[in-house]
Amino acid sequence: MEAVLKHSRQRDAIKNLLKDVACHPSAEWIYENVKKDFPKISLATVYRNLNLLCDTGEAVRIDVGDGTVRYDGYVKNHYHFLCSKCRRVIDVSEDEISHINSEIEKNHGVSVERHSIVFFGKCNECKK
């Protein structure tokens, strides 16, 4: 019972951390930050909890195309922009790109159900 409680507290801490930050962190980043409250936590435990959160739909795993997996506490359907300089990931809403679906449907006579898209470039800090 004690162990179960401790584990769910760790999971809650990871979940809350993901909800609080907009940086789309990696598992390593989450590990470094959760360690402040749970000094004995291991990276493997962080991974296990992240997998659980993704399985239950409380977090999403995102492949930003740079070879690292990042995690997002914002689970509504949306897209990402990756800064090639500082690796910052910015959320792009469904509304911002919804016209792409109708363009493709019009041009090819198809019916688009979903798409997977990542934008690459320089963020507003890095392009200065």
Please give the residue ranges that form the binding site for Zn ion (CB under 5 A).
72, 74, 83, 85-86, 88, 91, 123, 126
CB atoms within 10 A of CB 95: 8
**52 or 123: whose CB is closer to Zn ion?**
123
- In angstroms, give the least distance from the CB of 35 to Zn ion: 24
- In angstroms, give the least distance from the CB of 5 to Zn ion: 30
Residue 67 gets the label, from left (phi > 0), alpha (psi -120 to 50) or beta, of left
**7 or 78: whose CB is closer to Zn ion?**
78
> Which residues, at least 6 apart from 85, have a Cβ–Cβ distance to it below 8 Å?
122, 123, 126
- In angstroms, give the least distance from the CB of 10 to Zn ion: 23
Token representation of residue 127: 């392009």
